[in-house]
Amino acid sequence: MQQNEERPDAGGQPLVELIDAGSAYLARKGIPSPRVVCELLAGRLLGAPRLGLHDFLPLPVGTARTAALRRGLARVAAGEPVQYVLGEWDFRGLTLTVDRRALIPRPETEQLIDHVLATPALWRNERPRVVDVGTGSGCIALSLAQERPQARLVAIDSSADALELARENADRCGLAAWVDFREGSGCGAFRAGSIDAVVSNPPYIPSGVVPTLDRWICDHEPLAALDGGADGLTCIRAITRDAAMVLKPGGCLFYEIGDDQGPAVRDILESHGFGDVAICNDWSGRTRFATARLRGL
């Protein structure tokens, strides 16, 4: 977020009062973490990070900015994710454009990248070839490009709109030269044994569960990026099958998965020739990741 050189306008209501009122409004509407959301919106208007608002709190905010804050609050109160209202979101130190073309990058996916980075076997190769299947906003591929620039990265998505957003984010972050973006439904088009790792945050929510998700998810985020078929495992099966063909012996596969899918994902991986399967928890203690290596070394 760029620093805004303008200061709050003279003659208006103090920012602290606007934040107090806005937080109370969101709380009445049942919005989680209402004060955090209000502070994020206020920070966006002032060009300041949320944690840097302290100096602005006693200062008056003019009519135009007050109206803009209220418009943002109304959008959030109506169920629109605050990330889409802001139009951008931070992910592992990168500020990414976010909108309805792709899922909002989430903290759990940051932890998925930690698993990729913490796999020594992958990084013994001077220039490992890594494929991000279902790249969405590009958050996984771009984070890996930023943190492991020696990697040869390919980011794939079946949605032309999502791929357009991912390319925009690559340009925004100055990483376009490090990632090869391709439209497609999986990684099966690569030459057999040519890939060092496949990483994916695939659709893994069962079709019957999707309509029960929170309204700000169902009404705004792309459902195709969430719906994993009847049991939530349709895409995981397909990606695993493709990965078993294109990975080198000893190649790595990394998934984000549902919190009740660990045993089923383990079975899928082992039935396609993967070993060293690990089902791992996220920061909240819920099952969230699967990692494995293709047997053969």
pLDDT tens readout for residues 217-251: 999 999 999 999 999 999 999 999 999 999 999 99
User: How much is the average pLDDT of 53-74?
Assistant: 89
> Alpha helices of the chain — where are they, by DSSP H?
15-28, 34-46, 63-77, 82-86, 107-117, 120-123, 139-147, 160-173, 215-218, 234-246, 262-271
User: Domain range spanning residue 29?
Assistant: 13-78
Backbone angles phi, psi at 287, to 5 degrees: -55, 130
User: How much is the average pLDDT of 145-166?
Assistant: 98
Residue 287's nearest CA partner among 277, 276, 279 is 279
Q: The domain that contains 127 carries what CATH number?
A: 3.40.50.150
> Does the pTM exceed 0.95?
no
If DSSP codes are grouped into helix, strand and coil, which group holds residue 227? strand
Q: Say if residue 204 is in the same domain as residue 248.
A: yes
Asked whether residue 3 carries a pLDDT value surpassing 80, the answer given is: no
Round to whole Å and give the CA distance between 1 and 96.
10
Q: Say if residue 25 is in the same domain as residue 108.
A: no
Asked whether residue 106 carries a pLDDT value surpassing 80, the answer given is: yes
Q: Say if residue 176 is in the same domain as residue 288.
A: yes
Q: Say if residue 66 is in the same domain as residue 147.
A: no
Residue 147's nearest CA partner among 88, 190, 91, 87 is 91
* 6 is a domain residue: no
pLDDT tens digit sequence for 11-48:
578 999 999 999 999 999 999 999 999 999 998 888 77
* 7 is a domain residue: no
Q: Say if residue 52 is in the same domain as residue 109.
A: no
- For residue 11, the model assigns a pLDDT of 54
- For residue 47, the model assigns a pLDDT of 78
C-alpha gyration radius of the chain: 21
Q: What is the tally of structural domains in the chain?
A: 2
* 94 is a domain residue: no
Q: Say if residue 259 is in the same domain as residue 151.
A: yes
Task: Say how many C-beta atoms besides its own lie within 10 A of residue 262's C-beta.
Answer: 19
- For residue 297, the model assigns a pLDDT of 61
Residue 35's nearest CA partner among 85, 76, 79, 90 is 76
Asked whether residue 2 carries a pLDDT value surpassing 80, the answer given is: no
Share of the chain above pLDDT 70, in %: 96
Q: Say if residue 126 is in the same domain as residue 64.
A: no
Round to whole Å and give the CA distance between 132 and 139.
10
> What residues pair up with 274 in beta bridges, in sequence order?
294
